[in-house]
Amino acid sequence: MESLTVGLGERSYPIWIGEGILDRLAEALDAVAFPRRVAVVTNPTVFGHYGERVLRLLEGGGYRPTVIELPDGEQYKTLQYLEKIYDSLLTGGFDRHSGLLALGGGVIGDMTGFAAATYVRGIPFAQIPTTLLSQVDSSVGGKTAVNHPLGKNMIGAFYQPRHVHIDVATLKTLPAREFAAGMAEVIKYGVIRDREFFAWLAKHRTELLELRPDALIYAVKSSCQIKADVVEEDEKESSVRAILNFGHTFGHAVETLSGYGAYSHGEAVAIGMGVAAELSRLLGFGSEADVDQIRSLMSGFDLPLDPPAHSLDAYLAAMGRDKKVHDGKLRFVLNHGIGDCGLHDIAEPQRLFSQILSQTR
Protein backbone atom coordinates (compact mmCIF):
# COMPACT_ATOMS: atom_id res chain seq x y z
CA MET A 1 0.00 0.00 0.00
CA GLU A 2 1.09 3.56 -0.74
CA SER A 3 -0.08 6.56 1.24
CA LEU A 4 0.20 10.32 1.16
CA THR A 5 -1.27 13.22 3.11
CA VAL A 6 -3.19 16.28 2.01
CA GLY A 7 -1.65 18.80 4.39
CA LEU A 8 -4.27 21.33 5.49
CA GLY A 9 -3.40 21.84 9.15
CA GLU A 10 -6.07 20.46 11.46
CA ARG A 11 -8.10 19.41 8.38
CA SER A 12 -5.29 17.29 6.92
CA TYR A 13 -6.23 13.78 5.84
CA PRO A 14 -4.59 10.63 4.51
CA ILE A 15 -5.01 8.97 1.13
CA TRP A 16 -4.43 5.22 1.03
CA ILE A 17 -3.71 3.68 -2.38
CA GLY A 18 -3.20 0.02 -3.12
CA GLU A 19 -4.59 -3.19 -4.56
CA GLY A 20 -6.96 -5.21 -2.38
CA ILE A 21 -6.98 -2.64 0.43
CA LEU A 22 -10.77 -2.42 0.58
CA ASP A 23 -10.46 -5.07 3.30
CA ARG A 24 -8.61 -2.51 5.44
CA LEU A 25 -11.45 0.03 5.35
CA ALA A 26 -12.42 -0.28 9.03
CA GLU A 27 -8.76 0.04 10.04
CA ALA A 28 -8.45 3.22 7.98
CA LEU A 29 -11.59 4.73 9.50
CA ASP A 30 -10.39 3.85 13.00
CA ALA A 31 -7.14 5.69 12.27
CA VAL A 32 -9.02 8.97 11.74
CA ALA A 33 -11.53 8.45 14.59
CA PHE A 34 -14.48 8.23 12.21
CA PRO A 35 -17.99 8.11 13.74
CA ARG A 36 -19.41 4.62 14.33
CA ARG A 37 -22.85 5.43 12.91
CA VAL A 38 -22.42 5.72 9.14
CA ALA A 39 -24.52 6.01 6.01
CA VAL A 40 -23.01 4.48 2.89
CA VAL A 41 -24.12 6.51 -0.14
CA THR A 42 -23.82 4.53 -3.36
CA ASN A 43 -25.65 3.52 -6.54
CA PRO A 44 -27.10 0.13 -7.58
CA THR A 45 -24.23 -0.68 -9.94
CA VAL A 46 -21.48 -0.13 -7.37
CA PHE A 47 -23.49 -1.68 -4.56
CA GLY A 48 -23.92 -4.80 -6.69
CA HIS A 49 -20.13 -5.13 -6.94
CA TYR A 50 -18.98 -4.04 -3.49
CA GLY A 51 -21.93 -3.18 -1.25
CA GLU A 52 -22.33 -6.40 0.73
CA ARG A 53 -18.56 -6.68 1.19
CA VAL A 54 -18.29 -3.11 2.50
CA LEU A 55 -21.19 -3.67 4.90
CA ARG A 56 -19.55 -6.83 6.25
CA LEU A 57 -16.24 -5.04 6.68
CA LEU A 58 -17.88 -2.14 8.50
CA GLU A 59 -19.97 -4.32 10.78
CA GLY A 60 -16.96 -6.51 11.52
CA GLY A 61 -15.05 -3.40 12.55
CA GLY A 62 -17.74 -2.23 14.95
CA TYR A 63 -19.47 0.29 12.68
CA ARG A 64 -23.26 0.58 12.26
CA PRO A 65 -23.93 1.14 8.54
CA THR A 66 -27.07 2.15 6.67
CA VAL A 67 -27.25 2.22 2.87
CA ILE A 68 -28.57 5.15 0.81
CA GLU A 69 -28.88 4.30 -2.90
CA LEU A 70 -29.10 6.94 -5.61
CA PRO A 71 -29.64 6.29 -9.33
CA ASP A 72 -26.51 5.84 -11.43
CA GLY A 73 -25.61 8.75 -13.72
CA GLU A 74 -24.56 12.40 -14.00
CA GLN A 75 -28.15 13.38 -14.79
CA TYR A 76 -29.06 12.57 -11.16
CA LYS A 77 -26.47 14.92 -9.66
CA THR A 78 -29.17 17.44 -8.77
CA LEU A 79 -30.76 19.16 -5.78
CA GLN A 80 -33.74 16.83 -6.16
CA TYR A 81 -31.63 13.73 -5.54
CA LEU A 82 -29.48 15.47 -2.93
CA GLU A 83 -32.70 15.91 -0.96
CA LYS A 84 -33.14 12.12 -0.97
CA ILE A 85 -29.91 11.86 1.04
CA TYR A 86 -31.24 14.39 3.55
CA ASP A 87 -34.56 12.54 3.74
CA SER A 88 -32.81 9.27 4.56
CA LEU A 89 -30.57 10.89 7.18
CA LEU A 90 -33.46 12.66 8.88
CA THR A 91 -35.80 9.66 8.93
CA GLY A 92 -32.90 7.48 10.09
CA GLY A 93 -32.14 9.70 13.05
CA PHE A 94 -28.62 10.63 11.98
CA ASP A 95 -27.08 13.41 14.09
CA ARG A 96 -23.84 15.38 14.37
CA HIS A 97 -22.06 12.30 15.68
CA SER A 98 -22.70 10.38 12.45
CA GLY A 99 -20.69 10.16 9.24
CA LEU A 100 -21.13 9.53 5.52
CA LEU A 101 -19.17 7.21 3.25
CA ALA A 102 -19.15 7.84 -0.50
CA LEU A 103 -18.90 4.46 -2.26
CA GLY A 104 -18.81 5.09 -6.00
CA GLY A 105 -17.58 7.49 -8.64
CA GLY A 106 -17.49 11.25 -8.92
CA VAL A 107 -21.25 11.82 -8.83
CA ILE A 108 -21.62 9.88 -5.59
CA GLY A 109 -18.53 11.51 -4.11
CA ASP A 110 -19.60 15.06 -4.96
CA MET A 111 -23.16 14.59 -3.70
CA THR A 112 -22.11 12.80 -0.52
CA GLY A 113 -19.55 15.49 0.24
CA PHE A 114 -22.10 18.28 -0.29
CA ALA A 115 -24.61 16.47 1.90
CA ALA A 116 -21.94 16.07 4.60
CA ALA A 117 -21.02 19.76 4.34
CA THR A 118 -24.60 20.89 4.83
CA TYR A 119 -26.41 18.27 6.97
CA VAL A 120 -26.74 19.70 10.52
CA ARG A 121 -24.11 22.21 9.32
CA GLY A 122 -21.45 19.60 8.75
CA ILE A 123 -20.62 15.98 9.57
CA PRO A 124 -17.54 13.91 8.66
CA PHE A 125 -17.35 11.98 5.41
CA ALA A 126 -14.86 9.68 3.72
CA GLN A 127 -14.32 8.83 0.08
CA ILE A 128 -14.16 5.27 -1.29
CA PRO A 129 -13.79 6.05 -5.02
CA THR A 130 -14.39 3.14 -7.41
CA THR A 131 -13.72 4.83 -10.78
CA LEU A 132 -10.39 6.02 -12.09
CA LEU A 133 -11.69 9.55 -12.56
CA SER A 134 -12.84 9.82 -8.96
CA GLN A 135 -9.65 8.18 -7.65
CA VAL A 136 -7.36 10.71 -9.30
CA ASP A 137 -9.54 13.80 -9.18
CA SER A 138 -12.89 14.31 -7.50
CA SER A 139 -12.23 12.33 -4.30
CA VAL A 140 -9.27 14.56 -3.40
CA GLY A 141 -9.39 18.26 -2.61
CA GLY A 142 -12.79 18.83 -1.03
CA LYS A 143 -14.81 20.18 -3.95
CA THR A 144 -18.44 19.11 -3.48
CA ALA A 145 -21.39 20.11 -5.62
CA VAL A 146 -24.50 19.35 -7.62
CA ASN A 147 -25.31 20.46 -11.15
CA HIS A 148 -27.84 23.04 -12.34
CA PRO A 149 -29.46 22.92 -15.81
CA LEU A 150 -27.55 26.09 -16.70
CA GLY A 151 -24.15 24.99 -15.42
CA LYS A 152 -22.13 22.13 -13.97
CA ASN A 153 -21.14 22.14 -10.28
CA MET A 154 -22.60 25.61 -9.73
CA ILE A 155 -24.11 24.75 -6.33
CA GLY A 156 -21.64 23.37 -3.82
CA ALA A 157 -19.08 23.89 -1.08
CA PHE A 158 -15.44 23.31 -0.26
CA TYR A 159 -15.49 20.55 2.36
CA GLN A 160 -12.62 18.16 2.94
CA PRO A 161 -13.06 14.42 3.58
CA ARG A 162 -11.66 12.74 6.68
CA HIS A 163 -10.03 9.96 4.62
CA VAL A 164 -9.70 8.78 0.98
CA HIS A 165 -9.51 5.00 0.43
CA ILE A 166 -8.40 4.00 -3.08
CA ASP A 167 -8.37 0.33 -4.05
CA VAL A 168 -7.26 0.05 -7.67
CA ALA A 169 -8.74 -3.49 -7.77
CA THR A 170 -12.15 -1.81 -8.13
CA LEU A 171 -11.09 -0.70 -11.61
CA LYS A 172 -11.45 -4.29 -12.82
CA THR A 173 -15.24 -3.87 -12.81
CA LEU A 174 -15.09 -0.50 -14.57
CA PRO A 175 -16.29 -0.37 -18.21
CA ALA A 176 -13.53 0.47 -20.69
CA ARG A 177 -15.20 3.76 -21.60
CA GLU A 178 -15.18 4.86 -17.95
CA PHE A 179 -11.54 3.88 -17.53
CA ALA A 180 -10.68 6.01 -20.56
CA ALA A 181 -12.61 8.91 -19.04
CA GLY A 182 -10.44 8.71 -15.95
CA MET A 183 -7.30 8.72 -18.04
CA ALA A 184 -8.26 12.18 -19.30
CA GLU A 185 -7.70 13.58 -15.80
CA VAL A 186 -4.48 11.59 -15.39
CA ILE A 187 -3.14 13.01 -18.67
CA LYS A 188 -4.17 16.48 -17.49
CA TYR A 189 -1.74 16.32 -14.56
CA GLY A 190 1.15 15.55 -16.88
CA VAL A 191 0.27 18.40 -19.24
CA ILE A 192 -0.06 21.08 -16.56
CA ARG A 193 2.58 20.06 -14.03
CA ASP A 194 4.89 17.16 -14.88
CA ARG A 195 6.43 16.58 -18.30
CA GLU A 196 8.18 13.39 -17.11
CA PHE A 197 4.88 11.94 -15.92
CA PHE A 198 3.34 12.77 -19.30
CA ALA A 199 6.16 10.84 -21.00
CA TRP A 200 5.74 7.95 -18.52
CA LEU A 201 2.06 7.67 -19.45
CA ALA A 202 2.91 7.38 -23.13
CA LYS A 203 5.55 4.74 -22.39
CA HIS A 204 3.34 2.67 -20.08
CA ARG A 205 0.08 2.89 -22.02
CA THR A 206 -0.15 -0.90 -22.49
CA GLU A 207 0.37 -1.68 -18.79
CA LEU A 208 -2.32 0.84 -17.85
CA LEU A 209 -4.82 -0.50 -20.36
CA GLU A 210 -4.13 -4.03 -19.07
CA LEU A 211 -4.85 -2.76 -15.52
CA ARG A 212 -1.53 -3.89 -14.13
CA PRO A 213 -1.56 -3.00 -10.43
CA ASP A 214 1.93 -1.46 -10.22
CA ALA A 215 1.22 0.86 -13.15
CA LEU A 216 -2.20 1.83 -11.81
CA ILE A 217 -0.88 2.54 -8.32
CA TYR A 218 1.94 4.68 -9.72
CA ALA A 219 -0.41 6.65 -12.00
CA VAL A 220 -3.00 7.18 -9.27
CA LYS A 221 -0.46 8.16 -6.61
CA SER A 222 1.34 10.56 -8.96
CA SER A 223 -1.96 12.20 -9.89
CA CYS A 224 -3.10 12.48 -6.26
CA GLN A 225 0.27 13.90 -5.19
CA ILE A 226 0.12 16.62 -7.84
CA LYS A 227 -3.42 17.51 -6.82
CA ALA A 228 -2.56 17.43 -3.10
CA ASP A 229 0.39 19.78 -3.68
CA VAL A 230 -1.85 22.27 -5.48
CA VAL A 231 -4.68 22.03 -2.92
CA GLU A 232 -2.25 22.59 -0.05
CA GLU A 233 -1.11 25.79 -1.73
CA ASP A 234 -4.60 27.06 -2.61
CA GLU A 235 -7.47 25.14 -1.01
CA LYS A 236 -10.35 27.31 -2.21
CA GLU A 237 -9.18 28.18 -5.71
CA SER A 238 -8.27 31.80 -5.16
CA SER A 239 -5.19 31.43 -7.36
CA VAL A 240 -3.09 28.43 -8.41
CA ARG A 241 -5.74 25.74 -7.86
CA ALA A 242 -7.51 26.99 -10.98
CA ILE A 243 -4.85 25.23 -13.06
CA LEU A 244 -6.53 21.91 -12.17
CA ASN A 245 -9.37 23.05 -14.43
CA PHE A 246 -7.30 22.61 -17.60
CA GLY A 247 -9.79 21.41 -20.21
CA HIS A 248 -12.75 21.98 -17.90
CA THR A 249 -14.08 25.33 -19.12
CA PHE A 250 -14.85 24.06 -22.61
CA GLY A 251 -15.50 20.54 -21.25
CA HIS A 252 -18.23 21.78 -18.91
CA ALA A 253 -19.79 23.62 -21.86
CA VAL A 254 -19.85 20.33 -23.79
CA GLU A 255 -21.59 18.60 -20.87
CA THR A 256 -24.11 21.39 -20.36
CA LEU A 257 -25.02 21.77 -24.04
CA SER A 258 -25.13 18.03 -24.77
CA GLY A 259 -27.22 17.14 -21.72
CA TYR A 260 -25.54 15.62 -18.69
CA GLY A 261 -24.73 12.01 -19.46
CA ALA A 262 -24.31 12.24 -23.24
CA TYR A 263 -20.58 12.67 -22.64
CA SER A 264 -18.95 11.51 -19.42
CA HIS A 265 -17.07 14.17 -17.50
CA GLY A 266 -13.71 12.73 -18.54
CA GLU A 267 -14.69 12.58 -22.20
CA ALA A 268 -15.80 16.20 -22.10
CA VAL A 269 -12.56 17.21 -20.37
CA ALA A 270 -10.56 15.41 -23.08
CA ILE A 271 -12.36 17.43 -25.74
CA GLY A 272 -11.74 20.56 -23.66
CA MET A 273 -8.03 19.80 -23.32
CA GLY A 274 -7.71 19.49 -27.08
CA VAL A 275 -9.45 22.85 -27.50
CA ALA A 276 -7.31 24.47 -24.77
CA ALA A 277 -4.10 23.15 -26.37
CA GLU A 278 -5.15 24.58 -29.72
CA LEU A 279 -6.04 27.90 -28.06
CA SER A 280 -2.61 27.89 -26.40
CA ARG A 281 -0.97 27.38 -29.79
CA LEU A 282 -2.92 30.24 -31.35
CA LEU A 283 -1.86 32.57 -28.51
CA GLY A 284 1.79 31.53 -28.64
CA PHE A 285 2.07 29.59 -25.36
CA GLY A 286 2.28 26.16 -26.98
CA SER A 287 3.37 24.66 -30.27
CA GLU A 288 1.78 22.50 -32.92
CA ALA A 289 3.98 19.64 -31.65
CA ASP A 290 2.46 20.06 -28.16
CA VAL A 291 -1.04 19.85 -29.61
CA ASP A 292 -0.11 16.72 -31.54
CA GLN A 293 1.43 15.03 -28.48
CA ILE A 294 -1.56 15.79 -26.27
CA ARG A 295 -4.08 14.63 -28.86
CA SER A 296 -2.03 11.53 -29.64
CA LEU A 297 -1.85 10.44 -26.00
CA MET A 298 -5.58 10.99 -25.51
CA SER A 299 -6.35 9.11 -28.71
CA GLY A 300 -4.19 6.24 -27.44
CA PHE A 301 -6.61 5.83 -24.56
CA ASP A 302 -9.67 5.98 -26.85
CA LEU A 303 -10.77 9.43 -25.75
CA PRO A 304 -12.88 11.68 -28.02
CA LEU A 305 -11.11 14.71 -29.44
CA ASP A 306 -13.57 16.73 -31.52
CA PRO A 307 -16.26 19.04 -30.09
CA PRO A 308 -19.90 18.12 -30.71
CA ALA A 309 -21.75 20.26 -33.24
CA HIS A 310 -23.20 23.08 -31.16
CA SER A 311 -23.16 26.65 -32.38
CA LEU A 312 -20.37 29.07 -31.56
CA ASP A 313 -22.86 31.32 -29.75
CA ALA A 314 -24.07 28.40 -27.63
CA TYR A 315 -20.52 27.50 -26.62
CA LEU A 316 -19.67 31.12 -25.78
CA ALA A 317 -22.83 31.49 -23.68
CA ALA A 318 -22.15 28.26 -21.78
CA MET A 319 -18.51 29.20 -21.13
CA GLY A 320 -19.66 32.64 -20.02
CA ARG A 321 -21.33 31.00 -17.03
CA ASP A 322 -18.11 29.25 -16.01
CA LYS A 323 -16.95 29.80 -12.43
CA LYS A 324 -13.62 31.20 -13.65
CA VAL A 325 -15.30 34.12 -15.46
CA HIS A 326 -14.14 37.31 -13.74
CA ASP A 327 -15.71 40.71 -14.37
CA GLY A 328 -17.27 39.34 -17.53
CA LYS A 329 -13.93 38.13 -18.94
CA LEU A 330 -13.56 34.53 -20.06
CA ARG A 331 -10.56 32.87 -18.40
CA PHE A 332 -8.85 29.74 -19.64
CA VAL A 333 -6.15 27.49 -18.24
CA LEU A 334 -3.64 27.14 -21.09
CA ASN A 335 -0.69 24.79 -21.28
CA HIS A 336 2.74 26.34 -21.70
CA GLY A 337 4.33 23.55 -23.66
CA ILE A 338 3.96 20.28 -21.72
CA GLY A 339 4.55 20.31 -17.97
CA ASP A 340 3.54 23.90 -17.23
CA CYS A 341 0.48 26.13 -17.62
CA GLY A 342 -1.11 29.43 -16.67
CA LEU A 343 -4.49 31.15 -16.30
CA HIS A 344 -5.22 33.65 -19.07
CA ASP A 345 -7.96 36.13 -19.93
CA ILE A 346 -9.21 35.53 -23.47
CA ALA A 347 -9.52 38.89 -25.23
CA GLU A 348 -11.17 37.80 -28.49
CA PRO A 349 -13.11 34.64 -27.70
CA GLN A 350 -15.46 34.85 -30.69
CA ARG A 351 -12.65 35.04 -33.24
CA LEU A 352 -10.45 32.43 -31.56
CA PHE A 353 -13.15 29.84 -30.91
CA SER A 354 -14.60 30.31 -34.36
CA GLN A 355 -11.19 29.42 -35.77
CA ILE A 356 -10.77 26.42 -33.43
CA LEU A 357 -14.25 25.01 -34.09
CA SER A 358 -13.81 25.32 -37.83
CA GLN A 359 -10.53 23.36 -37.59
CA THR A 360 -11.82 20.54 -35.37
CA ARG A 361 -14.97 19.68 -37.28
Q: What is the mean pLDDT of residues 292-321?
A: 95
Residues of the chain with CATH 3.40.50.1970: 2-173
CA nearest 192: which of 137, 135, 131? 137
Over the chain, what is the mean pLDDT? 95
Contact 106, 141 (CB under 8 A): no
188 marked ligand binding residue: no
329 marked ligand binding residue: no
Residues of the chain with CATH 1.20.1090.10: 176-359
Question: 215 vs 90, 168, 317, CA distance in Å?
Answer: 43, 10, 40
Q: Could you tell me the pLDDT band of residue 150, with boundaries at 50, 70 and 90?
A: confident
Q: Could you tell me the pLDDT band of residue 245, with boundaries at 50, 70 and 90?
A: very high
| Cβ within 8 Å of residue 95, ≥6 positions away | 120
DSSP, collapsed to helix, strand or coil, labels residue 205 as helix
75 marked ligand binding residue: yes
Q: Which residues pair with 334 in a beta bridge?
A: 342
Per-residue DSSP letter, 307: P
**Residues 213, 207: Cα–Cα separation, whole Å:** 9
Helix then strand then coil, in percent of the chain rounded to 5, is 55, 20, 25
Contact 247, 276 (CB under 8 A): yes
Q: Could you tell me the pLDDT band of residue 171, with boundaries at 50, 70 and 90?
A: very high
72 marked ligand binding residue: yes
Per-residue DSSP letter, 329: B
- Fold of the domain built from segment(s) 2-173: Rossmann fold (3.40.50)
CATH class of the domain whose range is 176-359: mainly alpha
Which pairing describes strands 13-18 and 151-158: parallel, antiparallel, or unpaired?
unpaired
Q: Could you tell me the pLDDT band of residue 326, with boundaries at 50, 70 and 90?
A: low
| Cβ within 8 Å of residue 107, ≥6 positions away | 43, 70, 72, 73, 74, 76, 77
Q: Calculate what percentage of the chain has a pLDDT beyond 70.
A: 98
Question: 120 vs 37, 94, 123, 199, CA distance in Å?
Answer: 15, 9, 7, 46
- Catalytic positions, please? 121, 143, 185, 227, 237, 241, 245, 248, 252, 265
Per-residue DSSP letter, 110: H
pLDDT digits (tens, 9 = 90+) for 186-243: 999 999 999 999 999 999 999 999 999 999 999 999 999 999 999 999 998 888 999 9
Give helix then strand counts, H and E, for the chain: 15, 11
38 marked ligand binding residue: no
Q: Could you tell me the pLDDT band of residue 44, with boundaries at 50, 70 and 90?
A: very high
**Residues 226, 234: Cα–Cα separation, whole Å:** 13
Per-residue DSSP letter, 308: P
Kindly report the pTM of this predicted structure: 0.93
Contact 247, 273 (CB under 8 A): yes
Amino acid identity of 177?
Answer: R
**Residues 333, 348: Cα–Cα separation, whole Å:** 15
